Amino acid sequence: MTSKTSATIEDYLGLIYISERDGDTITGTRLAELLAVTAPTVTNTLKRMVRDGLILMDATHCPHLTPKGDQLARTVMRRHMLAEWMLIRMLSWSKVHHEAHGFEHTISEEVERALLQDLNQPETCPHGNPLPGHEAAVSAWVPLTLLKAGDNVTIRRIHELAESIPELLAFLEEKNIEPGQKVKVVEVLPFNQTVTLNVCENLVTLGFTTARQIFVEV
Ligand SMILES: [Zn+2]
Ligand SMILES: [Zn+2]
């Protein structure tokens, strides 16, 4: 199914899928920023995607997946997450997203099925993001920005948009901020837009931009 779709189109599909899943819309400007391409490039690619029946543009020029686009996006997302699980056996946690990005476009239906079975039908990726159709598995987790000083929580999820920033993932890995890690909230300062955590007896301060992308189990 994906062999007819280019890797570029699959990247667009993935980003549009994530924003729709989260109840947001994504603009062409934001796509250009996330994909590090120019606005005219985005406009042209979106036109091709409309032509191929993968998306529809709304009145504010934001793309929305058609049922066909949605199905393709889910396949790409699932294969990306399975590739991450495959790679985490050999690579560090902060590196698998980037590497899986190359693999996801070449995984066949047969390999996908084999991986799902081999990995025991995972509901999330190694960063805690839900495989398409498993959103309920993560719905109880809340972003760090909603916590208060004194809360003891377990890190569960680093959102896909944070996954795509290698420096941020390397920082979080170095500070032991990974799914499964127990942390204590030391301070939440809305006027300063910071959250300070005690992680393994070390204090780590995060800005709200990052803290919003980190979800915990209370
Ligand atoms: Zn990823
Ligand atoms: Zn992931």
Q: What is the CATH number of the domain that holds 21?
A: 1.10.10.10
Under DSSP, is residue 208 helix (H, G, I), strand (E, B) or coil? Answer: helix
Residue 4 pLDDT = 60
Say which ligand is closest to the CA of 126: 2
Long-range contacts of 130-136 (CB under 8 A, 24+ apart): 131/77, 131/78, 131/81, 132/17, 132/21, 132/73, 132/74, 132/77, 132/78, 133/74, 135/21
pTM: 0.92
Residue 133 falls inside a structural domain: no
Where among 127, 162, 178 does a domain terminate?
A: 127
Does one domain contain both 102 and 29?
A: yes
Say which ligand is closest to the CA of 157: 2
Tell me the pLDDT of the chain averaged across its residues: 94
Dist. CA 20 → ligand 1 center (Å):
17
Does one domain contain both 86 and 187?
A: no
Residue 170 falls inside a structural domain: yes
Dist. CA 90 → ligand 1 center (Å):
16
Residue 132 falls inside a structural domain: no
Residue 71 falls inside a structural domain: yes
Dist. CA 59 → ligand 2 center (Å):
32
Residue 102 pLDDT = 85
Where among 99, 127, 155 does a domain terminate?
A: 127
Task: Name the pairing type of β-strands 194-199 and 202-207.
Answer: antiparallel
- Tally of domains within the chain: 2
The CA–CA distances, whole Å, from 123 to 98, 138, 204 equal 20, 9, 29
Does one domain contain both 119 and 165?
A: no
Residue 112 falls inside a structural domain: yes
Say which ligand is closest to the CA of 104: 1
Say which ligand is closest to the CA of 14: 1
Quick check: 63 and 16 in contact, CB under 8 A?
A: yes
Where among 127, 154, 174 does a domain terminate?
A: 127
Residue 7 falls inside a structural domain: yes
Dist. CA 160 → ligand 1 center (Å):
6
Does one domain contain both 69 and 94?
A: yes
Dist. CA 106 → ligand 2 center (Å):
17
Does one domain contain both 175 and 120?
A: no
Q: Tell the residue number behind the tokens 């997302």, with chain if given.
A: 77
Does one domain contain both 106 and 156?
A: no
Q: Which token pair is 192? A: 């300063």
Phi, then psi, of 216 in degrees rounded to 5: -130, 160
Q: What is the pLDDT of residues 169-216, one digit of tens each?
A: 999 999 999 999 999 999 999 999 999 999 999 999 999 999 999 999
Say which ligand is closest to the CA of 76: 1
Residues with CB under 5 A from ligand 2 (ion): 84, 125, 127
Dist. CA 15 → ligand 1 center (Å):
11
The DSSP result for 3-54, as a single string, is GGS-HHHHHHHHHHHHHHHTT----HHHHHHHHT--HHHHHHHHHHHHHTTS
Q: Which token pair is 139? A: 């719905």
Q: Tell the residue number behind the tokens 């476009």, with chain if given.
A: 105
Q: What is the pLDDT of residues 85-138, one digit of tens each?
A: 999 999 999 999 999 988 888 899 999 999 999 999 999 999 999 999 999 999
User: Distance between CA atoms of 55 and 46, rounded to whole angstroms?
Assistant: 8
pLDDT above 50 (res 3) = no
Residue 1 pLDDT = 43
Residue 135 falls inside a structural domain: no
194-199 sheet: strands from edge to edge: 142-143, 214-217, 152-158, 182-189, 194-199, 202-207
Q: What is the pLDDT of residues 20-61, one digit of tens each?
A: 999 999 999 999 999 999 999 999 999 999 999 999 999 999
Dist. CA 69 → ligand 1 center (Å):
19
Does one domain contain both 81 and 110?
A: yes
Dist. CA 178 → ligand 1 center (Å):
14
Show the domain range for 10: 1-127
CATH at 194: 2.30.30.90
